[in-house]
Amino acid sequence: MIIENMKGDMSALADKPIIITGGGGGIALEAGLALAYMGAKVIIGEVDEEKGRKAESLIAAKFPGRVQFIPLDLEKPEAIQAFCEKVTAEYGTPYAIINNAAITPFDSIERLPLSDWDRSYHVHLRGPLQMIQFFLPKMLEKNQGVLVFTPSSGAVAYMGGYEVFKTSQVELANTLAAELEDTGLSVYSIGPGLVKTQTAMQGIEKVAPLMGISTEDFYHMNRENIVSAQEAGTAFAVSLLFAKKYHGQEIGGIQALIDAGIHKNNDEKISASLSEEGQTLLIAIVKTFDEQNEGWKKRNIFEKQWMLRDFKKYAGHSADEMAAALHQYQIAYNKKDVEKLNGLSALLTNLSNYYRHQLEMMQGYIKDSEKRQEYDTYIKGWLKDIETMKGML
């Protein structure tokens, strides 16, 4: 198990009840194994009783007394209610809910039956929402807990019946994160990457021909995003340890593995040669961001909140965290302290993600072509500075 390679303390999840929906196989089974290894009480919510019982047996064989299967059908409100009541009766308030359950109704918008859209809505959005509404008041009373969503990457032809409601989880997570900002609860989304689970492969076998390609071609085109079920599941599990850090963010599973010391970040090797040109460039990058950050803070309360949330969503850090980190890296660069520059490249990548998002937004919000061109030039300049800086590290 790759969880055995984790560095640091994992006792924070010991004896904590954690629900995993769709927990009977694939990513969720691996998440359950990793959580049980860390001492959590794993609650498998699964519609397929045979799969649920099998997953329960597999986890219990390695970690006796740390897992229970409880039937859960997210398409049936009464079944969700029964599941929640049973969890409460046996475990009290769960510490975390990992909303993993998924179905893959793939076909064209024209042909996919409305009944399949209804199923997707229930499994990916309404069902998780009903469960959260049941447990959230209890979690707030305890002033602790984690809500995790597992959205997909976005609109893809012939996958709308899946993607529309899966990606809506991001907006639900962002809304909850804003509402729970000043509580002890954390909310975030985590993308597993492309995993060859049984559910995924069945869906891809159907959608690949609609795209005019073979399943082999599909996997080859997406080969850089393919991860194992164990990697994805372990990422789900260890991400709970960094829940406060991830609050309000949409992260990738690899990030959680890096933070846990399981996956090495190959980009974090800084050359010993730190030039004056790089120093000047970093000063410019920091100055640009400082000016933006100060400008946001001068906006009215609603604009400020929206901009700061938007930044955190796309940059993976709050604006103040970004500013503090950039200034620390600037000091390290000035002192030519190579060790303290590890992580700068990744931070700059996060900042460029936000600038690219800004660039896209400008296309839709600024109608004056001259003004839009002016902003485009500025933002493309910032992006060029960042890419040049990264090339020097």
CATH number of the domain within which 39 lies: 3.40.50.720
In a domain, 281, yes or no: yes
Query: For residues 97 and 375, which has the higher predicted lDDT (pLDDT)?
Result: 97
In a domain, 61, yes or no: yes
In a domain, 44, yes or no: yes
Residue 264 CB coordination number (10 Å): 9
Helices 160-179 and 301-315: crossing angle in degrees, nearest 10, is 130
Q: 222: closest CA among 190, 253, 194? A: 194
Query: For residues 206 and 191, which has the higher predicted lDDT (pLDDT)?
Result: 191
Quote the domain boundaries for residue 340: 276-392
146 pLDDT higher than 90:
yes
Q: Are residues 24 and 139 in the same domain?
A: yes
In a domain, 315, yes or no: yes
Per-residue confidence (pLDDT) for residue 55, from 0 to 100: 97
265 pLDDT higher than 70:
no
Q: Are residues 250 and 292 in the same domain?
A: no
Instruction: Answer with the one of 260, 289, 310 that is the final residue of a domain.
Output: 260
Q: What 8-state DSSP symbol labels residue 194?
A: B
Given pLDDT bands bounded at 50, 70 and 90, which one contains residue 225? low
- Return d(Cα 208, Cα 140) in angstroms, integer: 44
82 pLDDT higher than 80:
yes
Q: 188 pairs with which residues across the strands?
A: 148
Q: Are residues 121 and 183 in the same domain?
A: yes
- Return d(Cα 196, Cα 202) in angstroms, integer: 9
Q: Are residues 300 and 167 in the same domain?
A: no
Virtual torsion, Cα 265, 40, 247, 83, nearest 10 deg: 130
- Return d(Cα 360, Cα 65) in angstroms, integer: 51
What is the mean pLDDT of the segment spanning 182-188?
A: 95
- Return d(Cα 303, Cα 348) in angstroms, integer: 25
Q: Which phi and psi angles does 41 have, rounded to 5°?
A: -95, 105
Comparing 120-134, 192-206, 321-335, the range with the smallest average pLDDT is 192-206
Instruction: Answer with the one of 260, 295, 314 that is the final residue of a domain.
Output: 260
285 pLDDT higher than 60:
yes
35 pLDDT higher than 50:
yes
In a domain, 269, yes or no: no
In a domain, 270, yes or no: no
Per-residue confidence (pLDDT) for residue 370, from 0 to 100: 82
267 pLDDT higher than 50:
no
275 pLDDT higher than 50:
yes
Q: Are residues 104 and 159 in the same domain?
A: yes
Distance of CA 193 to the CA centre of its chain: 10
Residue 194 CB coordination number (10 Å): 19
Query: For residues 14 and 214, which has the higher predicted lDDT (pLDDT)?
Result: 14
Q: Are residues 282 and 203 in the same domain?
A: no
What is the mean pLDDT of the segment spanning 145-155?
A: 88
Number of compact structural domains in the chain: 2
What is the mean pLDDT of the segment spanning 229-233?
A: 92
Does the predicted model carry a pTM greater than 0.95? no
Query: For residues 272 and 131, which has the higher predicted lDDT (pLDDT)?
Result: 131
In a domain, 268, yes or no: no
Instruction: Answer with the one of 260, 284, 310 that is the final residue of a domain.
Output: 260
Q: Are residues 240 and 284 in the same domain?
A: no
144 pLDDT higher than 70:
yes
Q: Are residues 82 and 159 in the same domain?
A: yes
Task: State the burial class of residue 103 (Cβ atoms within 10 Å of its Cβ: 0-12, 13-18, 19+).
Answer: buried
Q: Are residues 53 and 81 in the same domain?
A: yes
268 pLDDT higher than 50:
no
Q: Are residues 253 and 304 in the same domain?
A: no
Q: Are residues 124 and 11 in the same domain?
A: yes
Q: Where are the alpha helices (DSSP H) in the chain?
A: 26-37, 49-62, 77-91, 114-121, 127-142, 160-179, 198-210, 215-221, 229-239, 243-246, 253-259, 276-297, 301-315, 319-334, 344-365, 369-392
Residue 66 CB coordination number (10 Å): 19
Q: Are residues 305 and 348 in the same domain?
A: yes
